[in-house]
Chains A and B, each alone.
Chain A
Amino acid sequence: EAGVAQSPRYKIIEKRQSVAFWCNPISGHATLYWYQQILGQGPKLLIQFQNNGVVDDSQLPKDRFSAERLKGVDSTLKIQPAKLEDSAVYLCASSLQGGETQYFGPGTRLLVL
């Protein structure tokens, strides 16, 4: 079974630039999550999708972050414009349903200069 795929693996941008991350979940997984993990901390949920609907985006900074999950499969997370404090690892995960075992991708390490 293929795992969760993410790209790119690394990204370096200047502040105020925009960046996008892509995630392909495990086939058949209805629930998809985006997390932000700052060095030394646990993952913080940014947004949770159930199929292509949003379940929870309460911690998503909506003035600069946006996410979509077209056709209930792949998802993209965008930051525009980026700030220095957005430097973190962005993790995508999927599960059969919310609250159950999550399978994580390798993450995208973002550095904002």
Chain B
Amino acid sequence: SQQGEEDPQALSIQEGENATMNCSYKTSINNLQWYRQNSGRGLVHLILIRSNEREKHSGRLRVTLDTSKKSSSLLITASRAADTASYFCATSGPGYSTLTFGKGTMLLVSP
């Protein structure tokens, strides 16, 4: 079963705009991770946020986590055409268990 649910399913923006993707989950987590997948390729890890953290930054990426609402958001600022990809959130439960992935958000950034 897939715990994470990304929203929206698809997002189309222009270069330079910000992109926000949301992820909701159902059970308690140890950490939440975001991955990117370019068409036809493997997944690339973007950022990991632990359950006791509320916000984390990495370059143009900003991730927030609200454990009371069981939700997370990924913000990509000043997007580029190269950011076009599918973005997945994945949750890890207590005890360093397996990762459960959502269905992903497809992001299209037009020049």
Binding site for B on A (CB under 8 A): 4, 33, 35, 40-45, 48, 55-56, 91, 93, 97-107, 109
Contact = CB atoms under 8 A, between A and B. Distances in A.
A56 B45 contact: no
Contact of B43 (A41, A45, A55, A91): A91
Interface of B: 2, 4, 30-31, 33, 35, 40-45, 48, 88, 90, 92-93, 95-104
B42 A107 contact: yes
Contacts of A43: 43, 88, 101
Nearest to A98: B96
Contact of B95 (A33, A41, A99, A101): A99
A102 B39 CA distance: 19
Contact of B104 (A42, A93, A104): A42
Given A99-B31, A104-B43, A42 B2 contact: yes
A48 B98 CA distance: 7
A88 to B, nearest CB: 13
Contacts of A105: 42
B42 A42 contact: no
For the complex of A and B, list the 5 residue pairs with the smallest distance between their C-beta atoms, beginning with the closest.
A99-B96, A42-B101, A104-B42, A99-B92, A104-B43
B106 to A, nearest CB: 9
